[in-house]
Chains A and B, each alone.
Chain A
């Protein structure tokens, strides 16, 4: 079986398509569904730019097959905003200047969002641990940590 018909619920909407076994989840999200907020960075499981939530857990979508997401829930950065209102994690990145080029930002926000779902008031060490699989090449991590702290205080 090299072709599969899958149905993946992305940000609450079911998307069905016939795909090849080898299609990566990140390509399904960006090219089949057309949600390009999720970025492809290193493509080698290092940088975390492609981080999405799979059944609520942050994973690197360049290292998951699309067929493995069949029947499951995916949340991408486009799913953070609710009814025209930004999620506190998004507000945090704006207020604390948590980005420069913005390439790592979708992944950072998904990881930060998942952390705050599990740990309401993370310590700085817990935040730094959580984002240790997400790389930023612009500024370092000071403002990114502040952005997550802002969201923690705001929620």
Chain B
């Protein structure tokens, strides 16, 4: 399969890329790792006049910790993320997540920024970033802004990044002591989109009760979903089985999956419930709780 013809640009700097995006607006699309965009172009699900390849811009690929925040450059590949000692130590939920993205060959090209900016509710990073309470940095020729991840996903394949802007960085608060997170996903085979996927990040109080809970859901509706009602329910409660079960019921209630070859609506909702229990248990265990 061959994509329809397009004009291709490989800017060497962010200002150069933004100039191109200002010029072509809606007719242009940013190419990073290309592991979602190129298949779409090949299948002719998308046809674009102009492609701005940002993979030649130096300095978009980094993972660092600064003043209690982990900063991940949008151009960081999934492989880099998967092998990062900082991520393994501070944010193991992201090691779980990246291991489910595509396959090892895809992860050598695919980027963290691309996984978010694609705006696909079946992508895996959105749920994890919702659970973690991340922020993203978006840049345009007029300046830079920071957007909480809860306001980032605006619709199917739509995000807060405007056609003439670039997603630059993801910022994640370093979890305090007694924190843990996990991402679990049901997939038919390696590299498949989630039938259901659940990300949970928790912080426990000294008593063992939930102090902070973040729950994000994959393939659960037109956008990645934050299970706010379940999060609220858990706050201050001990992580006993009945409590986790009730939270999972509330999380499943928040989903509106679509039926497809991966399953019917009821099945997907039930899988979201089951996976929420598992993700909660794993996150609590990693936080050092029961």
Residues of A within 8 A of B (CB): 1-2, 4, 20-22, 24, 27, 43-46, 48, 51, 54, 57-60, 62-65, 67-68, 70, 111, 129-130, 132-134
Contacts and interface: CB of A to CB of B under 8 A. Distances in A.
Contacts of B2: 22, 24, 27
A132 B43 CA distance: 23
A59 B35 CA distance: 10
Given A22-B2, A65-B38, A4 B79 contact: no
Interface of B: 1-10, 34-35, 38-39, 41-43, 51, 53, 55, 79, 102-106, 108-109, 190-191
A116 to B, nearest CB: 14
A2 B104 contact: no
B38 A48 contact: no
A133 B191 contact: yes
A67 B8 contact: yes
A43 B8 contact: no
A4 B8 CA distance: 9
A58 B77 CA distance: 13
Contact of A67 (B10, B79, B108): B10
11 contacts: A1-B8, A22-B2, A22-B41, A43-B1, A45-B102, A48-B105, A65-B34, A67-B8, A68-B10, A68-B53, A130-B104
B5 A133 contact: no
Contacts of B4: 22
Contacts of A111: 104-105
A58 B105 contact: yes
B104 A129 contact: yes
A21 B191 contact: no
Contacts of B9: 1
A58 B55 CA distance: 17
